[in-house]
Amino acid sequence: MDLFMKCAIEEAEAGLREGGIPIGSVLVRGGRIIGRGRNRRVQDNDPVLHAEIDCLRNAGRIQSYAGCTLYSTLMPCYLCAGAVVQFGIGKVVAGESENFPGAREFLESHGVEVLDLDLDVCKTMMHAFIEAHPDLWYEDIGVL
C-alpha cells in the first residue's frame, strides 16, 4: 500500500472517530497531496459531503485537474464519480469495492483509469461500520 492510500485511510479513521462514515480520500498531483477529505455527511448534516467531494473542496480551485489521481478508501459512488468526470481527473485508486461496487463502469466509460486495490483494511473497516450502523450506511447510499 502506498503513502497516498495510507493518508486516505487516516481520513476515514478520523471520520469514524467523529461519528461519521469511515470513507477517506486524497487528491494527488505531481507526487504530492493537494487535497484531503472524509465523508462528513453526518458531522455537517450535509447529504452530498462525501469523502471525495470534501477532498475536492479542500483542494480548492486548482484550474486544471489534468494529471491528478483521486484516492478513496471505497469505490466512488455516482455522485463522486460524476465530479471526477466533470473535472477531468484521469485516475481513481480505490481501497475496495467489495462492500460497495460504486460507479466503476461509469468512470471507465468516461475514460477514467480505475484501480481497485482490494485492501483488507478498507474492507474490514467498512464492513464493521455497515454492520454497526446500517441506518447511516443505507441513508448515505440513498437506499432508505
| Residues with active-site annotation | 52
d(CA 115, CA 91): 8
User: Is the C-alpha dihedral spanning 14, 17, 18, 21 positive or negative?
Assistant: positive
Helix-helix angle 3-17:120-132, to 10 degrees: 20
What residue ranges in the chain does DSSP mark as E strands?
24-29, 32-38, 68-72, 91-94, 113-116
d(CA 73, CA 6): 9
